[in-house]
Amino acid sequence: MKSAVYPGSFDPVTFGHLDVISRAQNFFDKLYILVAVSFDKKPLFSAEERADMIREHVGANVEVIIWEGLTADFVSSKNIDCIVRGVRSSVDFRMEQTLANINYELNEECETLLFCCRPKYRDVSSRLVKEIANHNGDVDKFVPSNVLRELKSKLSK
């Protein structure tokens, strides 16, 4: 059985993230979505909120997990074959290349598979979605309705 993990902060999950999930779940028998808990980031949503928003959009072969450690450690603990990542630009590619190399050094059994984003998602990022939403801008073309609801609720407080 081939398995993969797609790690990220997903704060919040966007259509770009969901596109990568949709495409990756067709390649693997099991896909884990790793919602990262990072000490250097100040997320708008809790890890539980982010995981719940993702769960509404995944297939039966996808499991959403909150993780505080290294992706390489999760890969080892579950005998995962592949780390899935999405790339939007050459800047993303350089960063992902570095991460892939580091993850390989930590676990030589695991490969990294990069999914190039669809052109319509090239400029969509969680950071920009939050910035636009914070200024009452329209983000409904970037995030699903459940995320839009949560954004409006969170930012109105």
Length of the chain in residues, anyone?
157
Residues carrying an active site annotation: 17, 41, 88, 126
Quick one: what percent of the chain has pLDDT higher than 90? 92
In the prediction, which pLDDT does 123 show?
A: 92
Kindly report the CATH number assigned to the domain that includes residue 51: 3.40.50.620
Number of domains comprising the chain: 1
Biggest distance spanned by C-alpha atoms of the chain: 46
DSSP for residue 93: H
pLDDT tens digits, one per residue of 37-92: 977 778 999 999 999 999 999 999 999 999 999 999 999 999 999 999 999 999 99
Contacts of 78 (CB under 8 A, 6+ apart): 3, 5, 32
What's the N-to-C CA distance of the chain in angstroms?
45
- As a whole number, the mean pLDDT across the chain is 94
Residues 19-32: what's their mean pLDDT? 96
How many whole angstroms separate alpha carbon 15 and alpha carbon 121?
7
In the prediction, which pLDDT does 90 show?
A: 92
pLDDT tens digits, one per residue of 124-141: 999 999 999 999 999 999
Q: Is the pLDDT of residue 157 over 80?
A: no
Radius of gyration of the chain (CA): 15
Domain that holds residue 63: 3-155
